[in-house]
Amino acid sequence: MLHSCDKIDVFFADVIEHELKKQEENPKMVFRGNSLATKSMEAYLKFIGAQYLKRTLQDTILEIYRKDECYEIDRQKLTSANGSGPDAKFMIEQQDKFRKLSHQVWTLIKRSFEYFPWCVSNFFYSTLCSQIT
């Protein structure tokens, strides 16, 4: 409801301020416990983050599954049952493949700023401002 009314950032700023007042002696504990601030933020970020991540990465993740390629770079996980591991050339190829995939994913994330949830940005900005004043 608060999300649809564009009031979620105000809600979180108020909740965090309230939690900080309760934890005046140890403000670092606000986000470490089961506080209202922690639980409500966690639920909200799951809600909003899932939509964002789906829009940003879903096609790439589906393509990875369709290709059914191995991107493992941990030599121990690539070692066969008889104890023989992959050779150095194979490991370099795996690392290169993984590096390219990582670059592709980060490029998608960097390009997603146009539809990054404004409410998340506003939330962090409001929280920062409430701590400065």
CA angle 133, 117, 23 (to 5 degrees): 35
Given a cut of 90, is residue 54 above it in pLDDT? yes
Q: Where does the pLDDT of residue 82 fall: very low under 50, low under 70, confident under 90, or very high at 90 and above?
A: low
In this structure, the chain runs to a length of 133
Can you say how many angstroms the Cα of residue 31 is from the centroid of all Cα atoms in its chain? Answer: 16
Q: Measuring CA to CA, which residue among 2, 6, 11 is closest to residue 127?
A: 11
Q: What is the mean pLDDT of residues 17-33?
A: 69
Q: Measuring CA to CA, which residue among 129, 127, 125 is closest to residue 117?
A: 125
The amino acid that residue 56 corresponds to is: T
pLDDT tens-digit map of 93-133: 999 999 999 999 999 999 998 888 877 777 667 666 766 65
Q: How far apart are CA 127 and CA 23, in angstroms?
A: 16
Range of weakest confidence among 49-53, 83-87, 124-128: 124-128
Q: Kindly list the domain boundaries of the chain, sorted by start residue.
A: 8-132
**pTM, full prediction:** 0.60
Element at 106 (helix H, strand E): helix 88-111
